[in-house]
Amino acid sequence: MKQWVVREQISEKVNKELEQWPELVRHLLFYRGIEKKEEAEKFLIPDYEKHLHDPFKMLDMDKAVERIIKVIKNNEKIVVFGDYDADGVCSSAIFYEFFKKIDFKNFHFHIPNRHLDGYGLTQEAINEFIEQKFNLIITLDCGITDVKEVEIANKAGIDVIIIDHHLPPEKLPEAFAIVDSKQKKDKYPFKDLCGAGVTFKTIQALIKNGDFGIVPGWEKWLLDLVAIATIADMVPLVDENRTLVFYGLKVLEKTNRIGLLSFFRRFEINPKNIAEDDVGFLIAPRINIASRMDHANTSFNLLITESSGEANWIAGHLEGLNNERRILVDKIMDEINEKIKKEGMTEVLVEGDISWNPGVLSILANRLVENYNCPVFLWGKGEAREIKGSGRSDGSINLVDLMNFLPKGLLIESGGHAFAAGFSLITGKENKFKEEIIKAHKKAKKSKTENSFLYIDKEINLDEINWEFYKNIEFLKPFGANNSKPVFLFSDIEIFNVKKFGNGGLHLQLDFKNSNDEKIPAIGFFMNGDKFMAGQKIDLVASLEKSTYRNSLELRLRIIDIKVK
């Protein structure tokens, strides 16, 4: 259980500085570290011209652009190597749209198979590119760690341009150019673009220097893809990312991309009402599901197709894969829950099976952390070449530090950050891995991190829930990482009605009534409703959201945590 913390009151000085904004907006800005009028205006009213940085401030951008322009002018062969997740697929689609716009045809797109090829460039892929006599390889959302593979390409006379956003290793690949703002010598003002964000900046630079005859501002039509990738990759929605997503959502309202329009119809999304939640919970997961359950080419084709028939077929296929994934996750979840009932819980949950598809384990690990409030490590092999796993932390421990305690000879590789990590496990070491993780967890330093606390923006009552109140919250959209939805505390409120919904009652709806006897619904996904009943008093922490499900407008609460009185 996370510790609830109601945030401090806004200072008088900041209250005065931000007086042009409504009281609730002032509070929410203050809690996001915004204390100056100019900062507030930039945050609340992003400006495409003012708030995007010059792409040429990125290290090597000039070299990359000059080489790409030369290849295009000479009609040399380009292969674009994109990663298989939503960020990489959207990055690839952005480059595809650019090539189509300038009528360049001498290119090929290559997206690897998540399970058979793994992440990043491979020697097999490089050998294929050598055989096909490509002149230039452009990597998107990957490549920054591929030292050996770039060396092979260099020896064969193929230039490599790396366009990435991941943390660079100590030894960088000797590529022709590396465009990644996280490089030590890079002076770019913002370091947290996703892969598609860096790709978009590259396209901006190409248009600026390339003399392609493109109408100024055309690149804005690519922002729907940038917004999807930025939200999917969960990079901080501040600074340049906030501007890109702000305008990307506006492009999504007007998009002519046939594949996305097919999604909108399937999920009954009205483009005029599209929000970051639609992208984060409906669109991005379906784009991601292709690489987890099939091949990412499927999602790539959805984003670039000009055929309504193909778009409808792919959208239906992706939804089918998502349903398969849901069934698979539920099945594995049941297996783990049953095992815990029989064998009891440990301080860290480590489970796996050769038959489990590694592509669904990160989703499953997140749910298990929520259910059991402990670190989780899951592994599987499925059709992959090697055993792969995902780790998730409850905030009590740094996963990277924990894996550093493991003895050598267990893992082929590992990486990630404090709360989310991935690893590859040597076959035959599965039982040993579990033993050593449990040992390492006992030795590792435990601490309460920011993730151990639930910060509450304001305590309010049910009578304050109305459209005017929600309008003030909307000032801060789009929400996401580092700009999460405002969280409110409702103390000592009485449950009016309890309802379960979804497959087998997976989800929970609690209804409350305000002093005017108006119903206020609260929704909790993947929440057990067995312990709640009408007439019960609870303390509730929730965010506020506008639901347009089946084109019916409703204001409701999204449950975050509950304490029964």
Beta strands 488-494; 497-501: pairing state: unpaired
How would DSSP label each residue in 245-296?
HHHHHHHHHH---HHHHHHHHHTT--GGG--HHHIIIIIHHHHHHHHHHS-T
Query: Nearest CA to 194 among 108, 89, 49, 275?
Result: 89
Query: Nearest CA to 482 among 507, 512, 514, 455?
Result: 455
Whole-number pLDDT of residue 221: 97
pLDDT digits (tens, 9 = 90+) for 347-373: 899 999 999 999 899 889 988 988 888
pLDDT digits (tens, 9 = 90+) for 105-114: 999 999 999 8
What's the chain's average pLDDT?
A: 92
End-to-end CA distance of the chain: 15
pLDDT at 465 exceeding the cut of 60: yes
Sorting pLDDT into bands at 50, 70 and 90, what band is 553?
A: confident
What's the CA gap between 75 and 107, in Å, rounded? 9
Distances (CA, A) of 153 to 67, 103, 104, 148: 16, 27, 23, 9
Task: Tell me if 172 sits within 8 A of 190, measured CB to CB.
Answer: no
Token pair 């340049």 is found at 240
Task: Tell me if 94 sits within 8 A of 203, measured CB to CB.
Answer: yes
DSSP 8-state class, residue 175:
-
Sorting pLDDT into bands at 50, 70 and 90, what band is 289?
A: very high
pLDDT at 450 exceeding the cut of 60: no
The pair of three-digit structure tokens given for residue 127, joined into one six-digit string: 């050998």
Contacts 24+ apart (CB under 8 A), 518-521: 520/462, 520/465, 520/556, 520/557, 521/554, 521/556, 521/557
Task: Please work out, in degrees rounded to the nearest 5, the angle formed at the alpha carbon of residue 97 by the alpha carbons of 113 and 260.
Answer: 75
% of the chain with per-residue pLDDT over 70: 98
DSSP 8-state class, residue 491:
E
What's the CA gap between 142 and 84, in Å, rounded? 10
Task: Tell me if 259 sits within 8 A of 306, measured CB to CB.
Answer: no
Q: Provide the CA 375 distance to its chain's centre, in angstroms.
A: 20
Whole-number pLDDT of residue 279: 95
Q: What's the mean pLDDT in 372-401?
A: 88
DSSP 8-state class, residue 84:
S
Whole-number pLDDT of residue 551: 65
Task: Tell me if 121 sits within 8 A of 143, measured CB to CB.
Answer: yes
pLDDT at 1 exceeding the cut of 70: no
What domains can you pick out in the chain, each with its CATH number? 8-45 (no CATH), 55-316 (3.90.1640.30), 345-449 (3.10.310.30), 457-564 (2.40.50.460)
> In sequence order, what are the residues at sequence separation of 6 or more whose Cβ sits closer than 8 angstroms to the Cβ of residue 537?
492, 493, 494, 495, 564, 565
pLDDT digits (tens, 9 = 90+) for 13-38: 999 999 999 999 999 999 999 999 99
In the chain, DSSP finds a helix count (H) and a strand count (E) of 19, 19
Sorting pLDDT into bands at 50, 70 and 90, what band is 299?
A: very high
Helix (H/G/I), strand (E/B), else coil: 6 = strand
Weakest-pLDDT range from 246-260, 377-391, 549-563: 549-563
pLDDT at 417 exceeding the cut of 90: no
Q: Provide the CA 11 distance to its chain's centre, in angstroms.
A: 34
Paired residues of 109 in beta bridges: 80
Give 3-state DSSP helix, strand, coil % of the chain, rounded to 5. Answer: 45, 20, 35
Q: What's the mean pLDDT in 249-272?
A: 93
> In sequence order, what are the residues at sequence separation of 6 or more whose Cβ sits closer than 8 angstroms to the Cβ of residue 290?
84, 89, 296, 297, 298, 299, 318, 321
Whole-number pLDDT of residue 345: 87
* Widest CA span in the chain: 76
pLDDT digits (tens, 9 = 90+) for 43-89: 999 999 999 999 999 999 999 999 999 999 999 999 999 999 999 99
Whole-number pLDDT of residue 447: 65
> What does residue 200 show for φ and ψ, rounded to 5 degrees?
-60, -45
Distances (CA, A) of 119 to 88, 116, 141, 144, 556: 11, 10, 10, 11, 40
Task: Tell me if 258 sits within 8 A of 304, measured CB to CB.
Answer: no
Q: What's the mean pLDDT in 256-268?
A: 93
The pair of three-digit structure tokens given for residue 534, joined into one six-digit string: 């009408």
Amino acid identity at 249 = L
Q: Is 356 left (phi over 0), alpha (psi -120 to 50) or beta?
A: beta
pLDDT at 449 exceeding the cut of 60: no
